[in-house]
Amino acid sequence: MLEKKEREKLIISADDFGKSELANKNILELIRLGKLDRVSVMANGSFRPEEISEIAKSGVKLDIHLDLADVPQKEKKLKKGVLGRGILFLMKHLGSREYRKERIKNKWTGQIEKFRELFGRHPNGVNSHQHVHLFGRYFLMALKLTQRYEIPYFRFAKKDLLGSKTNIRRIVSFLWKRDKNILKNDKLDGPDYFVSLDWIRDVERFTKDLPEGKTELACHPEREDEFELIKKYF
């Protein structure tokens, strides 16, 4: 368990509320245990009324988890690996009508409006499934929606990304560096550093060497290993 001083340096965020029954169950359990600071909601996901009621009353910050799909998709273990998925992703974004800017703008506006229907208020922050809000044409779109709806928090590291240089982290780092100048003078609140739990090889060692400032650590409690790590260390 982290000492209070170190825990205060972290913003623990759970992604994918609404993605599945297991995701909702595990996220709500972590909230009851006092492990989470923020939860990212997939507005077009699946919820029971009692789940919405409990998380709305919990006191954690509730963010919109923007997604390119109309409904949350189950992750599939593709044989192509990260590189293959990356190439497929690029092909879709460069050529498919499904991923044209106006279509995605309408989708994301609809997801924010759906969040308002569910909770009776605007989200506390903005982020996205699989980091797509950092991707080229979508970055400015996500930023403009954040400003339009007067949402105060935007998931974008002001100083740096942390964690091991996995293939996904390398892709995110490339996008982050390219987008950084756009947000240089922006007044939106956000973390100083960002890390995904699956970028951390040794959680205990990582927590003993946290930088000064605020680090947002995103986890996916639907994954049992991440669920257990959050319970154990945070």
pLDDT in tens, 209-234: 899 999 999 999 999 999 999 999 99
Q: What does the angle CA 221 – CA 12 – CA 208 come to, to the nearest 5 degrees?
A: 110
Beta strands 10-17; 160-161: pairing state:
unpaired
Quick check: pTM over 0.85? yes
Q: How many angstroms from the chain centroid is the CA of residue 2?
A: 22
Q: CATH number of the domain that 121 lies in? A: 3.20.20.370
Task: Tell me the mean pLDDT in the region 100-123.
Answer: 94
pLDDT in tens, 118-158: 999 999 999 999 999 999 889 999 999 999 999 999 999 99
Per DSSP, 67 falls in state -
Q: Which domain holds residue 171?
A: 4-233
Q: What does the angle CA 186 – CA 188 – CA 194 come to, to the nearest 5 degrees?
A: 100
pLDDT in tens, 28-55: 999 999 999 999 999 999 999 999 999 9
Cβ(55)–Cβ(31) below 8 Å: yes
What is the count of structural domains for the chain?
1
